[in-house]
Amino acid sequence: MTKASDGEALLAFQLAAVGISFIKEYRFHAKRMWRLDFAIFVNASPYDKLAVEVEGGTWSKGRHTSGKGFEADCEKYNEAAILGWRVLRFTTQMVEDGRALQAIERALEVKP
């Protein structure tokens, strides 16, 4: 398991504070080692699945913004979508200013 970034730690705190249950570092693929930063099962149903990713290093030329890293993320997120996950992606700034939590709360109101 990887160490949580500051953005992930803050989002975990925010989600818990508003009563949204989640699983951290959820392995969603049977063959690949891919993990989701946050997995949220709506109404405890495996069919209503929300994946939340906090992208670190977006302003500091981190892994997610390099060509290879961006391509690997595309592969991972596409596979999650194929497997029925709704994928939301946020920067640390979006977590810090509350936009991430607001979007997650809105997504949980919408039936897939």
The DSSP code for 62 is -
83 pLDDT exceeds 60? Answer: yes
Q: What is the DSSP letter of 12?
A: H
CATH code of domain 6-109: 3.40.960.10
More confident of the two residues 61 and 108? 108
Any bridge partners for residue 23, and if so which? 39
Q: How confident is the model at residue 31 (pLDDT cuts 50, 70, 90)?
A: very high
- What is the per-residue pLDDT for 1? 47
pLDDT at residue 109 in the model: 87
Residue 41 has pLDDT above 90, yes or no: yes
Q: What are phi and psi of 51, to 5 degrees?
A: -100, 135
